[in-house]
Structure formats: C-alpha cells, structure tokens
Amino acid sequence: MTRLDDLRANLAATRRRIDAAANGRPVRLLPVTKFHPASDLELLLELGVTDVAENREQEARAKAEAVPAMRIHMIGQVQTKKANAVARWAASVHSVDSVKLAQALDRGVALARERGERDTPLPVYLQLSADGDAARGGVTEEDLPELVTIVRAAENLELRGLMVVPPLGVDPAPVFARARELSAGMELSAGMSADLETAIAQGSDIVRVGTDVMGLRPLA
C-alpha cells in the first residue's frame, strides 16, 4: 500500500468510529499531523481534508508555508512571545489559557491584519484545566469567566468554545461532561484517538486525532 492508501484507510476507519458514536450529530475530525512531513498534508488535501492540527509553532509555521492550501490549527501551548507568529498562520487556536496570551494574540492579529497577512479575526478556544495543574496548561473554572470576558471584548479574536484534555489516569467522561456544561452555547473541542467515543457521547463537537489517522510518528 502507498502512503496515500494508508491515510485513506485510516481516515475511513476513524470516520466510522465517529459516525457510530455521534448518532447523526455532526462531529468534526481534526487530524493531528505533528512530526509528520508536509508531504502528508499534501496527501490529505488529495483526500479532501482541509484542516489539520499542530502542537508546535515552528513546525506548524513551516508546514503552513509549504502547504498554503491547508488550514492549520494550533492545539499546543502557545508562548506569549510566539503570539505574533501564530496570529499570521493559524486557522484557529485551541489552547488559549490566560488573559496575557489572549491579549498577545489580539495584538498579533491586529498587526497581521495591518500588514495584510490575514484578513479575519482569529477563532479561539479556551483550554480548560481539569485539575488546576498550570504545567499542563489550561485555565481553571474559577478564572474562566474573566478570560471569556476578555476574549469576547477583543477586537481581533472570535470566541468559538472550550478545549479540554483529561489528566492521565482520570476517567475522562466527567471531565468531558463538565466541559460541555461550561461551553453551553459554544463548541467543545475534546477527544483524541483513545477516548473519542467518550468525548462524543458527552457532547464534543471536534475530535483531535493523531495516531489513528496518521499512524506512528516517524523516527527522528
């Protein structure tokens, strides 16, 4: 089988899982392409995939330049100093977790629009912390209302919803269910290869799937 055949088969299998869990409800698949070459993004385009996700700014920026027809979404933590760069290429950011970052992205998008590098606001998802561990990223429930207010007031950002990643070793169902409650009226980005059925059952609108679509990461 060729690489194109592999990706076609993996996409079909993953979409069958999503469809079975969703019971007719629309759920978007966002393939996670980190560590895979830009040539894979070209193949995904051939298969009708228009949106993928990346975790690291430098890798994502390089792929955005190499494959401009692909919409690339940032799902990894963003350093404030990288906000201007992310604002130029990102189709959306799923990991906004602080007022400082939101304000930096707002300024970055304003600059990008002024320079003609983008012509629309930046859609963002607020990353919810399920355990309060700052090292893992995410905003606590206590601080979420302030962040929502800041993002909604930002001229160059568009609040789309929440994103959550359950802590390791924790039953994901209650985590997803609580995120769904908090994202009422907005989208929920939740669920990966191992727990997408659980996430969809709890109301996820977007699942971020890496290995099951792309296969194992290439060895360095």
pLDDT, residue 219, reads: 61
pLDDT of residue 217: 80
Whether 220 has a pLDDT exceeding 60, the answer reads: no
3 state SS of 182? helix
Closest to 122 measured CA to CA, from 90, 168, 162: 90
User: In DSSP terms, which residues pair with 29 in a beta bridge?
Assistant: 207
C-beta of residue 75 within 8 angstroms of C-beta of residue 127: no
Residue 32 is predicted with a pLDDT of 98
- pLDDT bin (cut points 50, 70, 90) of residue 216 is confident
194-203 pLDDT, tens digit each: 999 999 999 9
Of 3.20.20.10, 3.90.470.20, 3.30.70.270, 3.40.50.300, which CATH number belongs to 3-214? 3.20.20.10
> Mean pLDDT, to the nearest integer, of 183-196?
96
To the nearest whole percent, how much of the chain has pLDDT over 90? 92
**Residues 35-86: tens digit of each pLDDT:** 999 999 999 999 999 999 999 999 999 999 999 999 999 999 999 999 999 9
91 pLDDT more than 70: yes
Torsion region of 35: left, alpha or beta (phi above 0 gives left; psi -120 to 50 gives alpha): left
The pairs formed by 80-86 with CB atoms below 8 angstroms and a separation of 24 or more are: 80/104, 82/57, 83/107, 83/108, 84/108, 84/111, 84/112, 85/57, 85/61, 86/57, 86/60
Instruction: Give the mean model confidence (pLDDT) for residues 108-137.
Output: 92
Computed over every residue of the chain, the mean pLDDT equals 96
CB 31 within 8 A of CB 212: no
What is residue 137's predicted lDDT score, i.e. its pLDDT?
84
- pLDDT tens for 92-110 read 999 999 999 999 999 999 9
Q: What is the mean pLDDT of residues 174-203?
A: 97
Q: Indicate the helix (H) or strand (E) that contains 209.
A: strand 206-209
Strand positions, DSSP E, 9-146:
28-31, 51-54, 71-74, 92-96, 122-128
> Would you list the domain boundaries of the chain?
3-214
